[in-house]
Amino acid sequence: MTTAVASSLAELKQKVETRQARIGIVGMGYVGLPLALLFSGERFQVTGFDIEARKVSTLNGGGSYIVRILPQSIQQAQKAGFRATADYSEIARMDAVIICVPTPLNEHHEPDLSFVTGTVESIAPYIHEGQLIVLESTTYPGTTEEVVVPLLEKGNPLGLKVARTPDAPGVHVAFSPEREDPGNDTVSRHDIPKVVGGCGPVAVELASAVYGSIFRRVVPVSSPAVAEMTKLLENIYRCVNIALVNELKQLCMRMGIDIHEVIDAAKTKPFGFHAFYPGPGLGGHCIPIDPFYLSWKAKEFDFRTRFIELAGEVNTSMPYFVIEQLAGGLNEQRKSIKGSKVLVLGLAYKRDIDDLRESPSLTIIELLREKGATVAYNDPYFPTVGRGRHYALNMTNTPLDNLGQYDAVLIVTDHTSYDYRAIVEQAQLVIDTRNATKGIDSPKIVRC
C-alpha cells in the first residue's frame, strides 16, 4: 500500500471511530431513512439525499412519511445534525455515500436500473479521492462492477478511477445488501449481520469499518457479485418456499387437511425445517421482484432458472385462486361475484406495515371490479389509495362498521388491530386468506 493510500485509509477509519465521518445516504425510502437514523443514532453527521422534494421538506420540517418512523425520531436525528437535501453537490462533503434507491421491474418483467444509473450519474461529478461509495439496492450479480463502476469513472471530471488494489489511489466501491424485514421487531437492526463485497480489499476494509460502527457483525465476502448474489439467494429461498406451501395449501384443501395445522406440526422438528406460510400471493418490493433480476441475468449465460419461474407461476396465480374461493363461497349462498358487495380487509402486502407495493390486494381488487363486484376496502394504514405503477384504484378507506351490508368480507392482510371474532360475527361470509380466524368456529368462514 502506498503511503498516500494508507494515510487516506487510516484517516477515514479514524473519522469513523471518532464519529467525525460524514455519511450521505441516497434514497430516503423504507431502507435509506431507517439507515440514516441508525448512523445518526451513533452520532455520525448524516445527510439524506432524495429527488422527491416532498420527502426532503417533510424531513427538514421534522416530520415523517413512514408510519413506523415517528417524527420524534427525525427531530432527534436533526439535533444530531441530520438534514435532507436534493442537492447532489453536497456529495463532495461526504466521506461515505450509501445508495438505497429502488430497483423495480419494467413492464416486460426486466430489471429497471434507471434509479441506480440516475443516482450514479448524479453523484459522479462530486466524488473524491478516498471516498467510499456503497450500493445497497437489491440487484443482479454484476451490477456494481458492470454498471456502477463505469458510470462513476466516466462521470467525474477528475478522471478518478475505482481503487482495486491496496496501492491504487481512487474512489472505493462496494456492494452491501439491505436485509431489513419490515414489521419484524424480533431482531433489532444492529443484530442483522451486514454482508459486504468490495471492488478491492481497501473498499471492503472501509465498508466494514463504516458498517461495523452500527452493525454488530460484518460479513466480508470476496466480491460485490458474491454480495449481490447472497441477497438474491435469500429472497429466492423465500419465494420458492412460499410457492411450495401455496401449492401444498391447494392440495390440502382438496384433501380436507388444514395446511396450517400441518405446518405447526412440522415446525416442531428441531432441525432441517423452516416454516413458511401460504397466503393470497406475494407482495412487497423484494420477494415478487428480486428473483426476476436473476432470471434476466441468467439468460446472458444461456441458463434457465426453473425454480424461480415455477415459483413465480404459483405465487402470481394466488390472487386468482382467492377469487375462485370467493366465487365458491358466494355460490353456496346462491350469489355471484357480479353484483356482490365485497369488503377487502387489508391493502398492505403484509401485516402491520404501511407499504402496498406489489400487494396482492391490488390485483384482487382489480379482478373483483373486472368481474362486476362493488368493492370497498379497510386498512388503518391507508386513508386513500390512488394510482401506482401497476394499478389505478382511486378509493377511500371504509369504516369497519355495518359489515352485514357486504356479501363477503375478504381478509387479505391480517393486521393485528382487527377484531376477527367481531368481524366473523357481523359478516355474512368471510374469506380468510391468512388464517387470521384461527380458533374461530363458524360456517361463514372459508379458509383459503
Ligand X SMILES: NC(=O)c1ccc[n+]([C@@H]2O[C@H](COP(=O)([O-])OP(=O)(O)OC[C@H]3O[C@@H](n4cnc5c(N)ncnc54)[C@H](O)[C@@H]3O)[C@@H](O)[C@H]2O)c1
Active site residues: 286
Closer residue to ligand X (CB): 176 or 378: 176
For residue 187, the minimal CB distance to ligand X (Å) is 14
For residue 50, the minimal CB distance to ligand X (Å) is 4
Round to whole Å and give the CA distance between 23 and 40: 9
Give the interface size with ligand X as a residue count (CB under 6 A). 27
Would you count residue 138 as binding ligand X (CB under 6 A)?
yes
Round to whole Å and give the CA distance between 153 and 323: 51
38 to 67, contacts with ligand X by CB under 6 A? 49-52, 55
Closer residue to ligand X (CB): 5 or 356: 356
The H or E element spanning position 48 is strand 45-49
Region binding ligand X by CB under 6 A among candidate stretches 70-78, 178-186, 260-268, 367-375: 178-186
Residue nearest ligand X, Cβ-based: 29
Q: Which of 32, 130, 319, 346 binds ligand X (CB under 6 A)?
A: 32
Would you count residue 115 as binding ligand X (CB under 6 A)?
yes
Closer residue to ligand X (CB): 118 or 372: 118
Q: Which of 29, 41, 201, 380 binds ligand X (CB under 6 A)?
A: 29
Tell me, rounded to whole angstroms, the distance of Cα 333 from its chain centroid: 39
Q: Which of 8, 113, 132, 178 binds ligand X (CB under 6 A)?
A: 178
- Count of CA atoms in the C-beta half-sphere (13 A) of 374: 7
Q: Is the dihedral of CA 10, 16, 19, 23 positive or negative?
A: positive
Would you count residue 286 as binding ligand X (CB under 6 A)?
yes
Cα three-residue angle 341-342-344, rounded to 5 degrees: 155
Provide DSSP, 203-254.
HHHHHHHHHHTTSS-EEEES-HHHHHHHHHHHHHHHHHHHHHHHHHHHHHHH
Cell readout for 381 is 394504514
Cβ-contact 121, 87 below 8 angstroms? no
Round to whole Å and give the CA distance between 299 and 278: 30
Cell readout for 369 is 371490479
For residue 422, the minimal CB distance to ligand X (Å) is 31
Q: How many Cβ atoms sit within 10 Å of the Cβ of residue 354?
A: 17
Would you count residue 148 as binding ligand X (CB under 6 A)?
no
Would you count residue 285 as binding ligand X (CB under 6 A)?
yes
Site string for ligand X, 67-106 (x = CB under 6 A): ---------------------------------xxxx---
Q: Which of 23, 30, 39, 376 binds ligand X (CB under 6 A)?
A: 30
Q: In what order do the strands lie in the sheet with 83-85?
A: 83-85, 45-49, 22-26, 96-99, 132-135, 172-175, 194-198, 218-221
DSSP 8-state secondary structure symbol assigned to residue 171: B
Would you count residue 111 as binding ligand X (CB under 6 A)?
no
Closer residue to ligand X (CB): 5 or 221: 221
Q: Which of 61, 81, 118, 193 binds ligand X (CB under 6 A)?
A: 118
10 Å CB burial of residue 53 (0-12, 13-18, 19+) is exposed
Q: Which of 9, 26, 160, 436 binds ligand X (CB under 6 A)?
A: 26
Round to whole Å and give the CA distance between 210 and 130: 14
What is the contact surface with ligand X in residues (CB under 6 A)?
Answer: 26-32, 49-52, 55, 100-103, 115, 118-119, 122, 137-138, 178, 180, 182, 285-286
